[in-house]
A = this chain, B = another copy of it.
Amino acid sequence: VKRLSDCRITIVGLGLMGGSLAGALRGQCRELTGVERQPAVLAVALSRQLIDRGTTDLGAGLARADVVVLATPVRTILKLLGEIGPLLPAGCLLLDLGSTKAQVVARMEALPDHVQPLGGHPMCGKEVSGIEAADPDLYQGQTWMLCPLLRTTPAALALGCALVTAVGARPLVLDAARQDDLSGTVSHLPYLLACALIDTAHAVAAADPAVGEVAAGGFCDTSRVAASDVTMWLDILLTNREVVVQAVRTYQAHLDQLVGLVAGGDEVALRAALGAVREKRLEMFP
């Protein structure tokens, strides 16, 4: 089994997620290489000491890598997976950070045999994006889902787990379909809810511009994720469509139930429902 400290790691894509991961891994591995299309981003990553070396050339960046991490939006990951096989060194662990896994893992199946593929999804992020927002502590204390393929060796999975724990996160190994179901409910659904809340407030603001002045902490928190990167979310929603649509339908049924209690003015039932919700929330986030 390879040790992380002996590995050359290459991260493709130095946005918020890739840049943060680079900063968290640098110094814990033999060499940290960043691959980016934009030279200006490489310059920032180098000046912030998030990477040891940077290149705009994918082939050069991958040539000597023991571990490769794809840290781009999901559909760019899918595209890269179709092209990257011949460029990857033998025995290389290939991990990705995409928020949906079914299509990614399916595409990974087609990689050449000399590659060890492993799907990944760290459950963290920020509403700001780009290398400027990169934070080596981003992964600390977070859950990081890993989806091994049938072809993934135990040694490759172990190295993936070592990488995850090296940045302070907790590996959670599960299959791609289950990961997409879970992410659909706890991440993709809240994003759409936040977006619809912004749309609603904006429609009300057309009649009463004071909306902006009175929107306070509760509104701000509930809508925060609506400010995050659009391309990232577009890719997530379009690669997890059925799950997301079903999650919204389930949600709407629960919302209908709650608002029905309000409309009916059934105080006893409404108090019981809100009390149960509060208990569940405190259980999830003590």
A168 to B: closest C-beta gap in Å: 14
CB-based contact B182/A210 at 8 Å: yes
CB-based contact B212/A241 at 8 Å: no
In A160-185, the 8 Å CB interface with B consists of: 170, 172, 174, 178, 181-183, 185
Residues of the B chain whose Cβ atoms lie less than 8 Å from the Cβ of A265: 238, 241
Residues of the B chain whose Cβ atoms lie less than 8 Å from the Cβ of A123: 214-216
A28 at the interface (CB under 8 A from B): no
Residues of the B chain whose Cβ atoms lie less than 8 Å from the Cβ of A208: 178, 181-182
A277 to B: closest C-beta gap in Å: 4
In A199-236, the 8 Å CB interface with B consists of: 199-204, 208, 210-228, 230-231, 233-234
Residues of the B chain whose Cβ atoms lie less than 8 Å from the Cβ of A277: 195, 198-199, 226
How many residues in A have their beta carbons less than 8 Å from beta carbons of B? 89
A233 to B: closest C-beta gap in Å: 6
Mark interface residues in A40-51 (1 if CB within 8 Å of B CB, else 0): 000000000000
In A237-267, the 8 Å CB interface with B consists of: 237-238, 241, 244-245, 247-248, 250-252, 254-255, 257-259, 262-263, 265, 267
Residues of the B chain whose Cβ atoms lie less than 8 Å from the Cβ of A225: 218, 221-222
CB-based contact B189/A200 at 8 Å: yes
Partner of A238, one of B178, B191, B220, B270: B270
CB-based contact A285/B203 at 8 Å: no
Residues of the B chain whose Cβ atoms lie less than 8 Å from the Cβ of A247: 200
Residues of the B chain whose Cβ atoms lie less than 8 Å from the Cβ of A82: none
CB-based contact B222/A270 at 8 Å: no
Mark interface residues in A85-112 (1 if CB within 8 Å of B CB, else 0): 0000000000000000000000000000
Q: How far is the CA of A250 from the CA of B203 in the complex (A)?
A: 9
CB-based contact B186/A211 at 8 Å: yes
Tell which of A214, A244, A250, A273 has the most Cβ of chain B within 10 Å. Answer: A214
Partner of A281, one of B125, B187, B226: B226
CB-based contact A193/B222 at 8 Å: yes
Given contact pairs A189-B197, A195-B274, A201-B280, enumerate 6 new A-B contacts (beta carbons under 8 Å): A172-B214, A182-B210, A185-B201, A187-B216, A230-B278, A234-B267
Q: Could you list 21 examples of A-B contacts with CB < 8 Å?
A: A143-B214, A170-B213, A182-B204, A182-B214, A183-B214, A190-B222, A193-B193, A196-B258, A198-B277, A200-B254, A202-B280, A212-B283, A220-B285, A223-B284, A226-B277, A227-B285, A230-B271, A230-B275, A234-B270, A244-B262, A245-B259
